[in-house]
């Protein structure tokens, strides 16, 4: 069995990015991020999930102060060019509010990539997509048993969260074709499968990475 402290190092030898759920519940200490950086090769990217205080407690409202605190906490990743997109996962009970989203996006630093995962269907409308395009923020293409998000392009990169427990070969082939099309259009693509319960997700990701030639 692989010791827990060696898992990231092993993972990073096989894949080139990881989504960080740790930052959803706590602000990462600089020493923690530095250890992650040391355990991985240059070019390996970390995609932190925004803190729940921003998305689930403040619900993006009057959030400028804590947004600054959160982004400052992940600055060691940005400073070493290891920061991937920051994922804002909104709660399923938060309905579409264009002004709320517009005000929040306007306050974000523009030198970081952001992805928004909307979990209420009211957000999946053209007005929201246009607003995301204005700020080069990507619509997270999240897929679960409960809600499927349309593959609408809103930024110069794409972000997939594929959360079903299993993806048969035909589905994986379709995902690979979509990724290859995006790469051909000169877009960076981030794809994260669910892998908390079984290693299948990580194996799917490794297969996809090889098929795309990355």
The full 3-state SS of the chain, as one line of letters, equals CCCHHHHHHHHHHHCCEEEECHHHHCCCCHHHHHHHHHCCCCCCEEEEECCHHHHHHCCCCCCHHHHHHHHHHCHHHHHCCCECCEEEECCCCCCCCHHHHHHHHHCCCCCCCEEEECCCHHHCCHHHHHHHHHCCCEECEEECCCCECCCCCCCCEEEEEECCCCCCHHHHHHHHHHHHHHHHCCCEEEEEECCCCCCHHHHHHHHHHHHCCC
In the predicted structure, residue 214 carries a pLDDT above the cut 90? no
* pLDDT digits 0-9 by tens, 59-99: 999 999 999 999 999 999 999 999 999 999 999 999 999 99
Q: How many domains does the chain have?
A: 1
Which residue segment(s) compose the domain that 130 sits in?
4-211
**CATH number of 32's domain:** 3.20.20.410
% the chain with pLDDT above 70: 94
């Amino acid at each position: 069995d692989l010791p827990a402290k060696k898992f990231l190092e092993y993972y990073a030898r096989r894949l080139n990015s990881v989504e960080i759920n740790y930052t959803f519940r706590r602000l990462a200490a600089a020493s923690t991020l530095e250890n992650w950086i040391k355990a991985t090769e240059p070019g390996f990217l970390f995609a932190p999930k925004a803190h729940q205080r921003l998305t689930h407690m403040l619900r993006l409202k009057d959030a400028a102060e804590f947004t600054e605190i959160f982004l400052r906490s992940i600055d060691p990743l940005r400073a070493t060019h290891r920061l991937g997109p920051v994922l804002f996962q909104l709660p399923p009970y938060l309905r579409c509010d264009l002004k709320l989203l517009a005000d929040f996006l306007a306050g974000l630093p523009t030198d970081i990539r952001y992805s928004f995962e909307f979990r209420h269907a009211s957000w999946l409308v053209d007005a929201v997509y246009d607003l995301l395009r204005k700020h080069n923020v990507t619509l997270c293409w999240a897929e679960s048993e409960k809600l499927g998000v349309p593959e609408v392009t809103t930024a110069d990169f794409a972000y997939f969260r594929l959360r079903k427990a299993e993806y048969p070969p035909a589905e994986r082939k379709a995902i690979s074709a979509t990724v290859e099309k995006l790469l051909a259009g000169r877009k960076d693509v981030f794809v994260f499968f669910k892998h908390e319960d079984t290693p299948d997700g990580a194996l799917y990701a490794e297969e996809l990475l090889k098929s795309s030639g990355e």
